[in-house]
Every structure is written in structure tokens, then in C-alpha cells.
Chains A and B, each alone.
Chain A
Amino acid sequence: MSRRTAASVLAAAAAAAVLAGCTSTAPPKEEVAGQGGPIVVKAADTACDVSVKEAPAGTISFAVTNTGSKVTEFYLYATGDRIMGEVENIGPGLTRNLIVEVPDGGTYTTACKPGMVGDGIRDAFTVTGNAQRSVDQNTRLAEATAGYKRYVNSQIDALVPKTQEFADAVKAGDVAKAKALFPVSRTYWERIEPVAESFSDIDPKVDGRDDGEPGVPFTGYHRLEKDLWESGLQPDSAAMADALVADMKDLQARVATLELTPVQLANGAKELLDEVATGKITGEEDRYSHTDLWDFKANVEGSQAAVAALRPVIDEKDKALGPQLDERFAAVDALLEQYRAGDGFTLYTELTEDDKKKMTDAVDALSEPISQVAAVVTS
């Protein structure tokens, strides 16, 4: 397994995931908020200097300059790590702008993520005014589904080129590069797996496993995984790689017209953790590469994104549930961080029974409150 850093891999993807915000590559202006210019953020390797810690509700602009040596990204989070805006993939010395719409006053969090991993360097950020913005539940639910839809689109927009890159490495016979890209490209897939699975014809082609059932073709990620790790590249590996890319483009086109409901978001958050419990902690998902913890992490991130989108509704209905979810997501994240190896993770085959027990406990603890979300947001 290659230990190539995820940062360089991600940088190569050059796929900026834009969520609630918009980005531009306009040159920075040395102005501060209140004078009409963007808030200046100096993102170094060990510091995240935000020039102003407060802004009025409405459109807020940040100009993020990477003063460090690692590729970085910048986030504005609401409660529960709901992403209000995000700008990724800022190379050293570059400046990118983030324009984000923040309708509600309250306490938010800024974060720079040098190396584009981990929780980042965080600080509180206050948005003033409009604290009592009153909207009905339907509006909040619509905002939740719209916000999550942006998340899904951002993941697919990264998934397609990343899968292309993986496929290109397979077709070039560059096994080492393909192996390094395999868990990285799967990350974007795994984050939105329930959405992808809702297209029942795509999922078996892309993510099916080798069950040995006669007449069922074995294609997609896991077929290429088997080729790369076990049987060596086959005469049809290149065709498999092309088909995988084609299926991802098909997915992208279909997701564009997908309508999601709040219950689907909530159930998707639960299903992602079910995936972890039944496929990743058991080592069944990536049985040749043993990169299951990459998928584990991605499933949890995807689940958290769906819950975060619903967070304003959750907070309105059940004050205790959101903080409990925060605490248990944090526990899972902290546990997974113990298994980081470079920018990736320990291989499944290196885990002890005790490791797997701890992971099971943490996922069970999180899954129980997650399973209540659908009923809470629709109550």
C-alpha cells in the first residue's frame, strides 16, 4: 500500500468542493470588513489568522491567503460542523475568495486545514443581527435538503475527475499509482453512498463484490481492487476502468435532477453508519486492499454532513439530540485519528480484535441517536 500523501493526491484532483459559498480567484484586497472588502485570512501551517472575528448577517466574504507550505483549505462552520462555506485546495502563496451567505446571527467557527486533513485550526466567529430570523419548518427543511444537495454535488464533482485519474493509472499500467488513488477516489463515493445506491443499477456495477454467483458480472472498484492487489492487471482491466468512469458520469448526470427529502437525508445518515458496522469494521468491503478505514472515515463524514444539514431542524425539535450527536461523532473521529498512518489509515489487517471492538462500540453509540433523527425532524 502506498503511503503517498493524501494532500498531494487531493491537490492533483483540483476539484474545489464548493458548498454554500462561491469561490473566485480574484486577487486579494487588503481591506477589512466594514470597509466593504473581504475579511482577510492568513492561513499558515500552524496558524489561522482571521483579521476580523465578527460580521453582520448576510453576505460575508473572506480572502484566504495560504502563507504556509502545505496545500490548505478554509471553512466556516455553524453548530454541529454544518458547513456554511468552504474553499479547498489553496496552494502555498495563493489567495482564494470565499463568499458565503449567513442568514442567521450566532456563533460560528472558522477553520484552516493545512494539509487538508483533520479538524483544522479553529476559532470562534460571531455573526451579528437577525438572531431571531423566523422561518417556518418547511423553509428550514428546504434549506436542509438544498444544503445537503450542494454537498452531494461537491462530492460528485470531485469523484468524477478523481475516478478518471484512478482509471488513467490503471490503463497506464501504473499499479503503484492506481493503488494510491484507489482509497482516495472511493472516499468521495463512500461519503454519498446512500444517494448513489438509490440508483439501483449503478451501485452493483460500481461497488459490487465478487460473490461468485454465476451470471453476475464482477465489475467496478472491487474488480479493479482485486486486479491491483491480487491477480494482477487483466486484459480487460482497462475496459473495466473506462466503464467505472462512465458509470460515475452517469451518476453525476442523474444526481443533478435528484430531489431529496429530509427523511432521505436522515435515513442516509443512518445507512452510512450501517455500512460501517456491517462492511467496514468487518473488513469485507476492501478485502484485497484492506483500506477499509478510508471508507469508514468517508462514511462517517457523509453521515455527519447529512445530519449537519438537518441540524437547525433537529435543534428546534429536540435540544438534547444535537449535542449528543456532536459528542458521539467527536468520539468516533477521535478514535479513527488513532489509526492514522501518514495522511491515510492503518490497514484493516493490522487491526486487533480489541481495535475492532472499540470501533464497534463507538459506532453503536453514535448509531442509536442517529436512528432517531428521521422521526425528530418530521415530528
Chain B
Amino acid sequence: MTDTGQTERTVPPSPPTDEAGGGPGGGGGGFSRRALFGLAGAGVAVAGGAAALGYVAGSSAAEPARPGVVPFRGVHQAGIATPAQDRLHFVALDLTTTDRVAVARLLGRWTGAAERMTQGRETAENGAVGGNPLAPPADTGEALGLPASSLTITVGFGGSFFDKLGLQDQRPPALADLPPFAGDNLDPARSGGDLCIQACADDPQVAVHAVRNMVRAGFGTTSVRWSQLGFGRTSSTSTAQATPRNLFGFKDGTNNLKAEEPDLLDQHVWVQPGDGPEWMTGGSYLVARRIRMHIETWDRTSLQEQEQIVGRSKGEGNPLGKASEFDQADLAARGPDGTPLVPADAHIRLASAETLNGVRILRRGYNFVDGTDGRGRLDAGLFFIAFVRDPQTQFVPMQRALAQQDPMMEYLQHTGSAMFACPPGLDGSDYWGSALLA
């Protein structure tokens, strides 16, 4: 159990020198945005669960686990196997420079600011209001007074990152571009990116604050390519969490990989020694797909057909032919008329490990509604995020099967796609990518 946990370390980060100065950054010290004890609400429940599950195993006496604070440093990056929060701000950025030193400096600034923000602090000491009144505040301030809210910030590198910085020899083969899938309607303006930041929190304002300040720190080195807000998690990454529902109204992620399954995480999620370049060992590949749901046509579909498409009941979420949500689906079971109880093309069958030669993924997606599409229809769906050890052997065969056979495809369309290599967790003085860029 403990070997999946994040080992909390108290050594402050030492990002590369930022000669330009003046920007947000710097680790350690400073005031928390507010007292972090005695908070009510989801943050306590989530962090309580995390503590019980070993996420803070090894935490030192100097810095005890705090409610609503997910440790920033550890063996693996937070925001992957840590309990999924309810709010997401995801951003993909492009480099505007090919200068590796400038990029390393930025990643150092990001690391310092992110570590502080995940502790409920401003990006820099006295960042929001305590600095030089003639200078713009180093911290944008909208999270003042808000708790850490279980904020996690996860960073990854896209394939183009390696090309732009002349690091092709360090680009993992697993990060090869995804092939096209049947039915894709990908918008280049919502796809790809040299880097990504996934900020998840219990409070949307905290997630937005994190991304906003990191984007700001990146001006001159990075520029935003696209971003996505998500308002409700669509999967559980811990048995302590109830299974949420997606916008089709179904429980989603019942059968997800969970933090309580460390061997399975090692097998399916964490990059192992020898898998590829050494700097990625302990990391994971993030696959993001913006899946637009045709909400209105789905809503006109009979309950029976909806359940046949998914392969589960809508209320309890049990696999068809079984009684309760967490019962194992019996894909061989047939009804009195000889037809399979879980239809041959049901979503849960096509996506199952049994059908896919044992392939499993860690899902960490979010519902989204980006307003309406100008014709009165909800621009809504699932911002799918999966973490896998190798997208080529896990995500690709799964998505190929779904794209070709899943009747649910009539009710959805993939409109954005991106993949990022998320490096392992940060040790003592590491910054994101330090093993790659040092």
C-alpha cells in the first residue's frame, strides 16, 4: 500500500535562476491564504480519505497532513492516482521559444508557484497585496481567502515539445502521435500542444487561479493553445469515492483503476524502468479527448435503448443481468432467448479488459458544458482524460474498438485530442522536467 503513496518531502525547490526576475515564483515560506485547519466541506472528506489511503505516508512531523492539502512532492505527480476532485481547469500550451534554458527556468518558476498554491498559499510571498504598490501583484489574488481545496497541478510534455527543443532522442516511443479513429472530427484549435497543465480542485476558482498564474508566468516562453474547464468528475480514482454520473446520466468509471490497487497501477499506469527513456520512469501518459455529446438526441432515446448501449442499468449502475453496481459483469450470460444479457456491442463490453486482452486504463475525466453551439444545442460532453503506461498498447486498441463498434458513437463525436508525457513525481529540489532538461 505505502509504495503507491506519495512520500512527502519538506525540502524546498530550487528552480533554475530566473535572471529576468520580477515574475511569480519561489518556493517555501509565506502565509497561507487562510488558516487551513477546521475547514468544513468536501476538502476534508477527500483529504481524510487520502490520509487513510497512504497518500501522506512518510510525512514528516514538521509538516503534518493538512485537510484539503494534497502533497505536491512524491514518487508520482499528484493529480493522477490521488482522489479525483470535482473541478478541472486544463490548459495546453505551445512554446514560443526553442531556448531550453528559458524553458527550464519557466518550469522552475512553475514548480515553485505550484508548490505554494497547492498549500493554499499565494504564488509568491506577499504576492497578492503585500508587494511594491507600483508593481503589478505577483499573484493575481482571486484565491485570497480560499483554502487549498485539494488543488493538484500536473504537468506533461507533448511530442512537439521534444521536437522544438531538439530533444528527439528523449522522446518516448510511447508518445508517438495517435492514429486517426473512425468518426473523429478533431479541431486543430482544440488539439495537441507542447505542454499541458492539469489543475484539479474542489473549488473551481482555485483551479482557475492556478492555471491563470502559471499561464502568466509563461508569457514570452509559452502561449496558450487551448483550454478546457470541467465541472464534475466522471470517474472515481479511489474506493472512498462514490461513482459520479456523466452527462448521459449514467454512472461512469465504476470499473476504473483505483489508488487502492497499487499492483494494477504499476502494471497499467506508471511507466516502469526499461519502458522507455529513464526520465519517464514513474511517470504516466495523459490522453485527453474532448468528446462532444449529442445531448438532445440522447435525451430522446428510450431508457431501454440507453441501457442496452451502455450495458448497465441507469439507476443502480449494475451490469445488465447483475444486481448491484460493483458486481462483475458476466459477459457470457445469455437471456432465455439466447441473446447476451450484455449486448455484443455494449459500451462496457467493448471497453472491458476481457475483450481487450487485459488492457485497462486510469480514467480521470470531467463533464463540461461550454454554453451552446449557436443553434441552441448544448455544447457539452465529456472531457476524457486517461492515464496509461503506454497509450499505443492501451488507449489505441480501446479507442479503435469503440470508434468502430460502439453504438454510443451515434451520440457523440471526438472534437479534440492531445497526449502528454507526465514525468514522475518531484523529489527534493526537482522541478518539472529537471531530469529531462538538466
- Chain A contact residues, CB within 8 Å of chain B: 263, 318, 320-321, 324, 328, 357, 360-361, 364-369, 371-372, 374-376, 378-379
Complex CA gap A237/B136 in Å reads 43
Known contacts A321-B21, A321-B22, A365-B96; is-contact A372 B135 (Cβ 8 Å): yes
B40 at the interface (CB under 8 A from A): no
The segment from B74-82, B163-171, B215-223, B357-365 found at the interface with A is B215-223
24 A-B residue pairs with CB within 8 Å? A318-B21, A318-B22, A320-B20, A320-B21, A321-B22, A324-B20, A328-B220, A357-B223, A361-B96, A361-B223, A364-B219, A364-B223, A365-B221, A366-B220, A367-B219, A368-B220, A369-B20, A369-B220, A371-B136, A372-B22, A374-B134, A376-B22, A378-B134, A379-B132
Known contacts A320-B19, A321-B21, A365-B96; is-contact A375 B135 (Cβ 8 Å): yes
- Name the A residues within 8 Å of B19 (CB-CB): 320
- Name the A residues within 8 Å of B317 (CB-CB): none
Interface residues on B, range: 10 to 19
Interface residues of B in 134-170 (CB under 8 A from A): 134-136
Known contacts A328-B220, A365-B220; is-contact A321 B96 (Cβ 8 Å): no
Besides A263-B134, A320-B20, A357-B223, 8 more A-B contacts (Cβ < 8 Å) are A364-B219, A366-B220, A367-B219, A368-B219, A369-B20, A375-B134, A376-B22, A378-B134
What 10 pairs across the A-B complex have the smallest Cβ distances? A375-B135, A365-B220, A361-B223, A372-B22, A364-B219, A375-B132, A375-B134, A368-B219, A374-B134, A320-B19
Number of A-B contacts (CB under 8 A): 44
Partner of B20, one of A321, A371, A374, A379: A321
Complex CA gap A369/B221 in Å reads 12
B23 at the interface (CB under 8 A from A): yes
Interface residues of B in 16-31 (CB under 8 A from A): 19-23
Closest chain A residue to B97 by CB distance? Answer: A365
Complex CA gap A364/B215 in Å reads 11
Closest chain A residue to B215 by CB distance? Answer: A364
A355 to chain B, nearest CB (A): 14
- Name the A residues within 8 Å of B21 (CB-CB): 318, 320-321
- Name the B residues within 8 Å of A368 (CB-CB): 23, 216, 219-220
A364 touches B22 (CB 8 A): no
Complex CA gap A361/B216 in Å reads 11
Complex CA gap A320/B21 in Å reads 8
- Name the A residues within 8 Å of B136 (CB-CB): 371-372
- Name the B residues within 8 Å of A321 (CB-CB): 20-22
Known contacts A318-B21, A321-B21; is-contact A364 B135 (Cβ 8 Å): no
Complex CA gap A324/B221 in Å reads 12
Closest chain B residue to A318 by CB distance? Answer: B21
Complex CA gap A360/B96 in Å reads 12
Complex CA gap A18/B19 in Å reads 36
Partner of A369, one of B22, B96, B216, B223: B22
- Name the B residues within 8 Å of A357 (CB-CB): 223
Interface residues of B in 268-287 (CB under 8 A from A): none
Interface residues of B in 216-235 (CB under 8 A from A): 216, 219-221, 223
- Name the A residues within 8 Å of B135 (CB-CB): 371-372, 374-375
Complex CA gap A328/B221 in Å reads 11
Interface residues of B in 108-140 (CB under 8 A from A): 132, 134-136
Interface residues of B in 290-345 (CB under 8 A from A): none
Interface residues of B in 82-99 (CB under 8 A from A): 96
- Name the A residues within 8 Å of B221 (CB-CB): 365
A370 to chain B, nearest CB (A): 10
- Name the A residues within 8 Å of B216 (CB-CB): 368
Complex CA gap A161/B223 in Å reads 42
A330 to chain B, nearest CB (A): 13
Known contacts A371-B136, A375-B132, A375-B135; is-contact A364 B220 (Cβ 8 Å): yes
Closest chain A residue to B131 by CB distance? Answer: A375
A325 to chain B, nearest CB (A): 10
- Name the A residues within 8 Å of B134 (CB-CB): 263, 374-375, 378
A222 to chain B, nearest CB (A): 30
Closest chain B residue to A357 by CB distance? Answer: B223
Complex CA gap A369/B219 in Å reads 10
Complex CA gap A376/B132 in Å reads 10
Known contacts A374-B134, A375-B135, A378-B134; is-contact A365 B219 (Cβ 8 Å): yes
A140 to chain B, nearest CB (A): 17
- Name the B residues within 8 Å of A369 (CB-CB): 20, 22, 220
Closest chain B residue to A363 by CB distance? Answer: B219
Complex CA gap A357/B225 in Å reads 9
- Name the B residues within 8 Å of A320 (CB-CB): 19-21
A339 to chain B, nearest CB (A): 18
Closest chain A residue to B225 by CB distance? Answer: A357
A174 to chain B, nearest CB (A): 44
Among A320, A368, A376, A379, chain B packs the most CB atoms within 10 A around the CB of A368
- Name the B residues within 8 Å of A366 (CB-CB): 220
Closest chain B residue to A319 by CB distance? Answer: B19
Complex CA gap A357/B96 in Å reads 11
Complex CA gap A361/B219 in Å reads 7
Complex CA gap A215/B96 in Å reads 46
Complex CA gap A375/B137 in Å reads 11
- Name the B residues within 8 Å of A328 (CB-CB): 220
B214 to chain A, nearest CB (A): 13
Complex CA gap A371/B132 in Å reads 12
A204 to chain B, nearest CB (A): 27
- Name the A residues within 8 Å of B22 (CB-CB): 318, 321, 369, 372, 376
- Name the B residues within 8 Å of A365 (CB-CB): 96, 219-221
B225 to chain A, nearest CB (A): 9
B178 to chain A, nearest CB (A): 23
A86 to chain B, nearest CB (A): 30
A289 to chain B, nearest CB (A): 29
Complex CA gap A263/B223 in Å reads 29
Complex CA gap A302/B97 in Å reads 26
- Name the A residues within 8 Å of B223 (CB-CB): 357, 360-361, 364
- Name the A residues within 8 Å of B20 (CB-CB): 320-321, 324, 369
- Name the B residues within 8 Å of A360 (CB-CB): 223
Complex CA gap A324/B135 in Å reads 17
A376 to chain B, nearest CB (A): 8
Closest chain B residue to A377 by CB distance? Answer: B134
Complex CA gap A321/B19 in Å reads 9
